[in-house]
Structure 1
Amino acid sequence: MNTPLNVPKPVYPWPVFQSPFVGAFNEEECNWYDEDYQFLSPEARARYKENRLADVGAFMVPTVTDRDKVRAVARFVIYMTVTDDYVELLPLKEIAAFRDRVFEVMMGDEPRPEEKGILRQMQTNRKEWIAFGMPDSWIKRIAMNYKYRFLNDGTMEESPYKISKDVPPLPLFHLIRANSIGMIPFIDQICTLTGFALPDYIYKHTVIQRIVMLQAIIVALQNDFATIRKELSIESETFNIITLLQHHNKISFDEACTAGMRMHDEFVEEFVTLADHLPDFSPYQKETEEFIFYIKQMISGLNSWYYNSGSKRYQVGGFPVPPNGKGETTHEIAVKHF
């Protein structure tokens, strides 16, 4: 039996809460796959049903008591994750075409009957946002962030590295991963939870944008530690901070874990410092502070989901294989998180 690789778990310096909606959307989630994700193979859909992705929403917004709002977040989690899995190894022109079509639907265009059902999920999400009182300006913000930050600057920049199995320099890695992890459009949903769409002059402020970027970098690094077993077993997965540090610095796995966690903790420290020293955003100081509170819960909530949800996504045979992907291409690697 292989000796397990020891991988540390991130910790965060703020309280973590428990959502009453964990497990509440399992049946609906399975129905969504059967109704709107028929473009996936039967095996992929079966695996997604074991991934418990709807619970990501509940874990990441644990203090929200409005079931409809938690459902809307869960819906977003699922189609964002499926998007990432499905397109990551496609030719760039195909990703670009999908990127452009997603934007059109998010902005109000009707999906055509012959199009992939995932677009219907996006259309439903848009209707939910409107019902929650979100203005057109906010919908354009989240649609732009999904199109450009997530797909264009993230997935489309990451994909060539996965195909070539090359590795980027560390500063570029952080920027690409911060976008491809999908958290920049994801946290836009905080406005639907609070019922207040941050005005542009606050959202675009240098400090808020740095906090948004730090959240995305932190979650990307968090993901790398939680998913390392899967990624070590899939040949095309080269975007992981642990293996990247091993490659660039010629260090052992354990040394790379230590260095990567130190890097993660430094970003968390910067995040906390900025969150504790916000500029004066009067008359919306309270709303801005609430926005930051939800960002914190999203960080720690996702971390908790990885280790406590019962998801099979990162177990052997649990990850849905994308088109052009080979799935697990090496022997199972034992990992012990501590």
Structure 2
Amino acid sequence: MNIRKILNDRFNYPFPNLISPFAATLQEVTDTQWIDGELKDLVPFSTREKYKQTKTGFMSARWWPKTRSFERMLPLGRFMLWSMYNDDMYEVATVAEVRNAQERSVAVLKGQITPEEAQIPLAYQLYAIREGFMEFIPAASVNRFANAINDYFDGLEMEVLYKQQKIFPTVGNLLNIRVRILMICAFIDTIEIQNEVTLPDHIYAHPVIKRLYELTTRIIGYFNDVQSLLKDEESGEVYFNVVKVLQHHYQITRDDAVAETIRLHDADLEAFLVLRAALPDFGKWNDAVLALIEDMGAFMKGWQSVSLLETARYGINGFPQAAELPKA
């Protein structure tokens, strides 16, 4: 199965393919100041090299391509790198470890405890993310972002339970939980830093906007699961890959499960486009809402582009093994 060809040919997004001019500079900061600097003692050299090849600086440049200043890109880049480290670290953790990380991570992001009090490996990164965000968006927006991270950990706890018991969730349960564990809703919240507009709470709470958040996450999730298929099969962590879930429950071939994943993806993408074309009237916020939704589309296209052009994370031996990572 040629995964790369499938990702290129079968996933089609009607959104512009953009990249920030800060991409290379942000990647250099990521590699030298963060991975080989602040995070040096967390993982061995070989693992640090894998994170460099993940190219989170380029991921950030494709997800927030219209960010006007490098200063605004820095906390976004930190968040992207943290999301990879954190996801790897807790992917094989216990429920108790996830709950501990959840409580302390969210408390740091909300400014309720210091990194020293948190006593988790990535506490200082979370503190730096919070401080960076607070330079550009109000505290209420940072708290909304922290609540989205809290939802991510809720989903991660459910994922851990299924994996520990080696049980495949139903397709419906998987899709509902994946909306949380992919962390995309938190990423969408950070678009505010790029666009330099803080929307009122009632817009974020609007059912159409909430549905677009959900669809964006699901759409990226389908792509991610095809992209991660070899990685998940190699590691044995197959219980939360939609291709493997479909294959298990429907007793179909892997090729047929990939085809069904693409069908689900295309149906959700069509639903996204239909909603985008018939938005409610948000008055003076119409342009800002449309910009937010266009940037959700940029996430979809940007993830495809970085997957095909830059990151080595989803290839064989391109990702850290559990033994290489610090204990949670």
CA 1:274–1:110: 2 relative to 1, 3 Å: same
1:273, distance to aligned residue in structure 2 (A): 0.8
CA 1:17–1:322: 2 relative to 1, 3 Å: same
The amino acid of 1:59's aligned partner reads: R
| Equivalent-residue separation in structure 2 for 1:16 and 1:317 (angstroms) | 28
Counterpart in 2 of 1:181?
182
The amino acid of 2:289's aligned partner reads: T
| Equivalent-residue separation in structure 1 for 2:134 and 2:264 (angstroms) | 39
Question: Within 5 A, what are the aligned runs for 1:185-204?
Answer: 185-204=186-205
Counterpart in 2 of 1:50?
53
| Equivalent-residue separation in structure 2 for 1:231 and 1:83 (angstroms) | 17
8 Å CA contact 2:47, 2:324 repeated in 1: no
CA-based RMSD of the aligned residues comes to: 2.0
Specify the SS of the correspondent of 2:14. Answer: coil
Q: 2:127 aligns with which of 110, 123, 126?
A: 123
Q: 1:74 aligns with which of 60, 77, 88?
A: 77
CA 1:250–1:29: 2 relative to 1, 3 Å: same
1:225, distance to aligned residue in structure 2 (A): 1.4
8 Å CA contact 1:163, 1:236 repeated in 2: no
Specify the SS of the correspondent of 1:112. Answer: helix
The amino acid of 2:283's aligned partner reads: S
Counterpart in 2 of 1:110?
114
The amino acid of 2:265's aligned partner reads: H
| Equivalent-residue separation in structure 2 for 1:278 and 1:193 (angstroms) | 22
Counterpart in 2 of 1:151?
153
Specify the SS of the correspondent of 2:24. Answer: coil
Counterpart in 2 of 1:250?
251
1:226, distance to aligned residue in structure 2 (A): 1.4
Specify the SS of the correspondent of 2:115. Answer: coil
User: What is the TM-score normalised by the length of structure 1?
Assistant: 0.89
CA 1:5–1:83: 2 relative to 1, 3 Å: closer
Deviations 1:122-166 (A, max 9, x none): 11121221211x11211110011101x2111x2111112222321
Q: Which moved more, 1:41-50 or 1:56-65?
A: 41-50
Structure 1: tracts of 5 or more residues without a match = 326-338
State the identity %: 26
CA 1:155–1:41: 2 relative to 1, 3 Å: farther
Counterpart in 2 of 1:314?
314
Specify the SS of the correspondent of 1:168. Answer: coil
| Equivalent-residue separation in structure 2 for 1:21 and 1:222 (angstroms) | 26
8 Å CA contact 1:25, 1:55 repeated in 2: yes
| Equivalent-residue separation in structure 2 for 1:65 and 1:138 (angstroms) | 19
| Equivalent-residue separation in structure 1 for 2:63 and 2:251 (angstroms) | 36
Specify which structure has the higher proportion of helix.
Answer: 2
* 1:95 matches 2:93: no
8 Å CA contact 1:19, 1:63 repeated in 2: yes
User: What is the TM-score normalised by the length of structure 2?
Assistant: 0.91
Deviations 1:183-224 (A, max 9, x none): 011110011111112211000000000000111111111101
The amino acid of 1:55's aligned partner reads: F
Q: Which moved more, 1:106-115 or 1:96-105?
A: 106-115
Question: Within 5 A, what are the aligned runs for 1:19-30?
Answer: 19-30=20-31
CA 1:105–1:214: 2 relative to 1, 3 Å: same
1:7, distance to aligned residue in structure 2 (A): 6.1
CA 1:173–1:114: 2 relative to 1, 3 Å: closer
| Equivalent-residue separation in structure 2 for 1:184 and 1:114 (angstroms) | 24
1:65, distance to aligned residue in structure 2 (A): 3.2
Structure 2: tracts of 5 or more residues without a match = none
1:114, distance to aligned residue in structure 2 (A): 8.6
CA 1:114–1:198: 2 relative to 1, 3 Å: closer
| Equivalent-residue separation in structure 1 for 2:257 and 2:295 (angstroms) | 30
